[in-house]
A and B are shown apart, each in its own frame.
Chain A
Amino acid sequence: MDLLSLFPAWLLEQGPAFVIVLPLLMGAITAILPSRTSAWWVCLIVTLLCTVTSFGLLLQVYSEGTSVYTMGGWDPPHGISLVLDVLSAPVLLLIAAMAVVTTVYAMPSTIAEIEPKKRAPFYAAFLLCFAGLMGMVVTGDAFNVFVFLEVSSISTYALVAMGAARDRRALAAAYNYLILGSIGATFFVIGLGFMFMETGTLNMADMSRILAELDGGSRVAKVGFGFIIIGLGLKLAMFPLHTWLPGAYAYAPTKVTVFLASTATKAALYLLFRFTFTVFDPSYDYVIVVLTYLLTGVGVVGMVFASLQAIFQTDARRTLAYSSVAQVGYMLLGIGLATAAGIAAGYLHLLNHAIIKGGLFLAMGAFWYRFGITRLSDFNGLSKTMPWTMGAFMISGLSLIGVPFTAGFVSKVNLTIAAADKGWWWAVAIIVVTSVLAIIYIGRILLAAYFGSPPEIDGEVVKRNEAPLMMLVPMWAMALLSIAIGSNILDLGDFFVTASERAAALLVGSGA
């Protein structure tokens, strides 16, 4: 591939370590930088470098296959390895790209949302969170996953709490997230303990091999699997364990909300893919039982209930947050199908939903930035006062519903076909019903914005006041990307579909 030859060999060779170490180091340096502007520049340059590297790594994985990087030259299973394959490389690029998008957006939004002296630490915590998420995706060592999970989680608690400058409820939300997030991570580490007892290794590839030799392992492995699923379930907001999510998304600073919504739960979902299909395998009877009954069950129930809850929110950010819980249900349904088509559809929806929900929350932040609007009752006439922002919101919103020629349509259709192929017609029905529910909760906002008239303040109609360019560019990038995927402009749609199919082929293929 021509593009690949543009990347220097050393960067591709050291890339997996580079994308973790760079933000980790620069995070520490950013924390002591004096001014906000320099912190922003450092953050932008670091995330850009990581995005370029991730893109190179993705191309490398596609042309040369799975790459294993041995930390410090210690071979696995003794040493810690970083593994990049067709499953992890797209998620890696997604996280890095979303970090760039939110950093560009953060220039105006943090000025409005964060106190001046806290801005440098804000970017530092963001870089730490970024490093943790990249690490979660890249690492091939199960305990390393826990460490990176906590690196990203702990910085996220601080980031969410920084929303207190504009809404005091951010503090209680961050506290709730801390309690539940720590319980989730601890469940995960208990599960790892059981897996270590069973297999005596922490390297994921090695663990998978030993488990296959043991034919799924004894009751210890089953208990370990249960703990790991519940731990990850808390992190990825699986339906009954999602209670931390609406508060954390609604009251965090916009940059954090966008980044969390489009990457943090996605990284945890990636781990769910990794653990259920690579480390464990659906051919073990306890795994397939959990996939078919538990993950599908909570996925479907979550789709319906979270969509219903989204309809009855008065705060638009909470509507979108509950919608995120519902969308996680689609991805869980894809995993629960446990067929190549189902996994591909779930994985595709993971990528698409990151772009869609990112665009929606970016627009939501702009509404607050100009008019202080978060409540649904204040949306009247926003299409006249902020036409461009509302336009981007509408496109992403339609994509969330699954209107044809948008990204949401592609993944929902793929998921529907996968469910129908397996004969799960009830699941098809539920996908349709929840899409109708999505029309209602997105439609409420669009209706008020496009058919309401702008409010009058002191007898004067509120004038047009568009969001700054640095906010418009990221949200339109998301909206246009969503259309490009849905309409297959520049072959982007094919690229995403192929990426998800290759990831699914890897996961199903490893089940031999």
Chain B
Amino acid sequence: MFSVIFEQYNYAVVIILMMTGLYVVFASRNLIKKLVGLSLFQTSVFLLYITIGKVSGGQPPIIVETHGGDHALLEPVLVAAAAPNDAAAYAGQSDILYSNPLPHVLILTAIVVGVATLAIGLALVVRIREVYGTIEEDGINALDYHYNLEGTDE
């Protein structure tokens, strides 16, 4: 039981972060805190991707200069990208075992997306603060209550 947890502690970290993030998004009524939760949630996914890129015994995916910079060396990297969990697929072609670099590349993109989302979220909160004078969801709902019913302010 405990050995499973310790061997796969990366997933435990991911799950804890993910659930914390989701809980914060849904439980807090403050718009900034919601964004903090959202970022935490997204970060847990980055971690999930990065940990699955690790191949046991593999070294960082940087081509080792043993064959004089031959382009054929790219081949094992491509094979690794095609079959990340299958060490045998490329063990025959090169004696060097690389970790899979693809998830890292994917997550670079996802990080950029996360930053963009956070930026536009914060910009929205600034505008909401200007218009409503509050960043608490309850306050916004209270201010809009009359508006929703009658279509006018006051």
> Interface residues, chain A, CB within 8 Å of chain B?
77-78, 143, 146-147, 150, 154, 157-158, 161, 164, 168-169, 171-172, 174-175, 178-179, 182-183, 185-186, 189-190, 193, 196-197, 200-202, 314-315, 374-375
Q: Which residues of B contact A315 (CB under 8 A)?
A: 151
> Shortest 4 CB-CB distances between A and B: which pairs?
A150-B113, A200-B84, A171-B128, A200-B83
A171-B127, A190-B48 provided; 17 other pairs, C-beta below 8 A? A143-B109, A146-B113, A154-B113, A158-B120, A161-B124, A168-B144, A175-B125, A183-B22, A183-B25, A189-B45, A193-B52, A193-B103, A196-B103, A200-B83, A202-B102, A374-B151, A375-B151
Partner of A171, one of B86, B124, B151: B124
Within the complex, the shortest CB–CB distance from A142 to chain B, in Å, comes to 10
Q: Which residues of A contact B22 (CB under 8 A)?
A: 183
Query: Does A154 lie within 8 Å of B52, measured CB to CB?
Result: no
- How many residues in B have their beta carbons less than 8 Å from beta carbons of A? 41
A164 vs B41: C-alpha distance in the bound complex, in angstroms? 28
Q: Which of A161, A182, A202, A374 has the most CB of B within 10 A?
A: A182
Partner of A143, one of B78, B106, B116: B106
The dominant DSSP class at the B interface is: helix
Within the complex, the shortest CB–CB distance from B8 to chain A, in Å, comes to 12
Partner of B124, one of A143, A147, A174: A174
Whether a CB of chain A sits under 8 angstroms from the CB of B85 is yes
Partner of A172, one of B85, B86, B120, B144: B144
Q: Which residues of B contact A143 (CB under 8 A)?
A: 106, 109
The dominant DSSP class at the A interface is: helix
Which residue of B is nearest A143, CB measured? B106
Partner of B86, one of A78, A150, A157, A200: A200
Given contacts A168-B131, A183-B25, contact A178 B117 (CB under 8 A): yes
Query: Does B124 lie within 8 Å of A175, measured CB to CB?
Result: yes
A150 vs B42: C-alpha distance in the bound complex, in angstroms? 13
**Mask of B34-49 contacts with A, CB within 8 angstroms, 1/0:** 1100100110010011
Whether a CB of chain A sits under 8 angstroms from the CB of B81 is yes
A200 vs B83: C-alpha distance in the bound complex, in angstroms? 5
Query: Does A193 lie within 8 Å of B48, measured CB to CB?
Result: yes
Query: Does A78 lie within 8 Å of B81, measured CB to CB?
Result: yes
Query: Does A179 lie within 8 Å of B34, measured CB to CB?
Result: yes
Given contacts A78-B78, A196-B52, contact A179 B127 (CB under 8 A): no
Q: Which residues of B contact A146 (CB under 8 A)?
A: 110, 113
Whether a CB of chain A sits under 8 angstroms from the CB of B121 is yes
Query: Does B124 lie within 8 Å of A157, measured CB to CB?
Result: yes
**Mask of B134-151 contacts with A, CB within 8 angstroms, 1/0:** 000000100010011101
Given contacts A197-B52, A200-B86, contact A175 B121 (CB under 8 A): yes
Q: Which residues of B contact A172 (CB under 8 A)?
A: 128, 140, 144
Partner of B128, one of A175, A193, A200: A175
Which residue of B is nearest A161, CB measured? B124
Within the complex, the shortest CB–CB distance from A463 to chain B, in Å, comes to 23
**Mask of B85-104 contacts with A, CB within 8 angstroms, 1/0:** 11000000000000000110
Given contacts A150-B113, A178-B117, contact A161 B127 (CB under 8 A): yes
| A-B contacts, 17 listed (Cβ < 8 Å) | A147-B109, A154-B117, A157-B124, A169-B147, A171-B127, A171-B128, A172-B128, A172-B140, A179-B38, A182-B42, A183-B22, A189-B110, A190-B45, A193-B49, A196-B52, A196-B84, A200-B85
Whether a CB of chain A sits under 8 angstroms from the CB of B16 is no
Which residue of B is nearest A185, CB measured? B113
